[in-house]
Structure 1
Amino acid sequence: MDVVVVGGGAAGLSAAVVLGRARRSVVVVDAGAPRNAPAAGVHGFLTRDGMSPAELVATGREEVVRYGGEVVSCVATGARRVDGGFAVDLANGDAVLGRRLVVATGLVDELPDVPGLAQRWGRDVVHCPYCHGWEIRDRAIGVLGTGPMAAHSALLFRQWSDDVVLFRGAASELTAEQAEQLAARGITVVEDEVAGLEVHDDRLTGVRLRSGEVVARQALAVTSALRSQADVLRALGLETAPLEIMGHRFGDHAEADPTGATSIPGVWVAGNVTDPLAQVVMAAAAGVKAAAAVNADLIAEETAAAVAELRSRAAVAR
């Protein structure tokens, strides 16, 4: 194979389609567990707004195959250098070989330890106002303060509802300026810690505090820690770097140049594994960019080999 793509979400599939259209042999290895699987639909993706994550992946896989690519449904357990490129080891004991490697394995959201929260994730427990704000507009929204971005998050979600409560608890501190901003926007601050969620008829109805009080809420926004799924990269010796936002650490990511090229020659990254804040459309675009860079790199290698062969023939002819 010319290229092995590890990860079959928007970034990986977009990369594979572009490579297939460039007449490259490409295989996508995908574990089939996308980060956004619990969500009803993807948003902010022009012409695909509201499409379910499963449908997006299925459509993308069809496009990869249409251009001659392959899709292997399996977990990639590691990767290693071999003569001519890379071998990606699979959980079933097999391995796939490629001259270049694109890693688009995404990330995992590490959620606050609140009983019942994980079960509502992607439904009425959300993280991104641009992904879910429209769907929870005008509802009673709670914001779970889990760190230094709590006030910022509450002010963001205030754009979609005039009924926003920030559950500050002990995990977040507010400056005098932030407290003033929240008060000016009519955002109530609750000091008690969150103990759990109230759910009736499979709908979030409230947030239960340590005191036993229940604050009626129809949606809850949380900030997760963003942990890159970078085992394949680590197997090659590439460690992730801290992800910092406004001076605060929120997880880790794989560092790369603007095309997705890593410090390991022949290895590119795309999507949330390197840009944890990228929405689906941005991840897809990153896959396109990485694929173009990979193809250009292969062309340079093939051209150099062709020039060497030409010179060799010319030397023999003399």
Structure 2
Amino acid sequence: MNSCFVNPPCRQSLLRYALIIALWLISYSVFGEASLPQGHYLLPETGNIVGEPYTATVEDEEDTLLDIAHAHGVGYEEIRRANPDTSLWVPGKGTPVQIPAQHILPDVERTGVVINIAELRLYYYPEVKDGEAPRVETYPIGIGRDGFDTPLGITKTTMRLEDPAWYPPESVRQEAAERGDPPPDVVPPGPDNPLGQHAILLDIPGYLIHGTNQPDGIGMRASRGCIRMHPDDIKAVFDQIPTGTQVNIIDEPIKLGWDADQLPYVQAFTSPDDKDAGIKSLLDIISNTEKLTDKERSSINYELMQNTLKRGNARIEPLI
């Protein structure tokens, strides 16, 4: 009879294995978030802030700031705002790079997909099974440039396409015709296809969440209104997001947040030109929120608030 239950050495191996599993389960319960993939966070039990900023070091002389951004799940605008004095193309081996990996969750229902165009970031709240902790996944995106604004509002996903063909819209045809370089009627799947390898259609005619053959544009306002994701990122969520998933596209340039101790913070994605409008918007948010006590409102450091909005560097700053 060959059984682990009667063989002492094998029984010891089972005990060691059981101990390893028990320790893993304990570590997951204590450090569960640390074991999640990059950009994935357990939803906080209190407050609405996830992640932590940290510093990475350039390890290769040929690395650009965009390479660092992609490796750490942030986009062009985010990495530039966090490192305004660092060279984009030649940061240099050994250079410390600030990674803005802390986020105030958008102030909307936490369901399906939420896209904050001011932040150039997508949040996905996957459905979880009974007993599973709710979580959020967040990814940098590219959105519509001036004149091709990404539309706001609540919509839903309607179809998923793998290796989609691209049919150039009329606006592309007109621009190409003016250059004397008319596009083909259809661009088949492949390296020249601007949709990349994955596309998720929205219930807004002509608008998609899709990959790209130009990943350096992630984190920029450079598309014709569609939401672009890095090829690796859309591949990661493509099979997770079912048809009919709610997609809420918002413009929230100023976010008010609370940590686990319920202390208030602010995160701004404003330009210096928008400072005055941003201050008015934040004051309206502060005056109307029920989460701040009168004592906390009277303790707000308005000079710090103004400086935060003026910088607009997306860093989460305390209000008190």
Q: TM-score, normalised by structure 2?
A: 0.25
Q: TM-score, normalised by structure 1?
A: 0.25
Greater relative CO (CA pairs within 8 A, separation 6+): 1
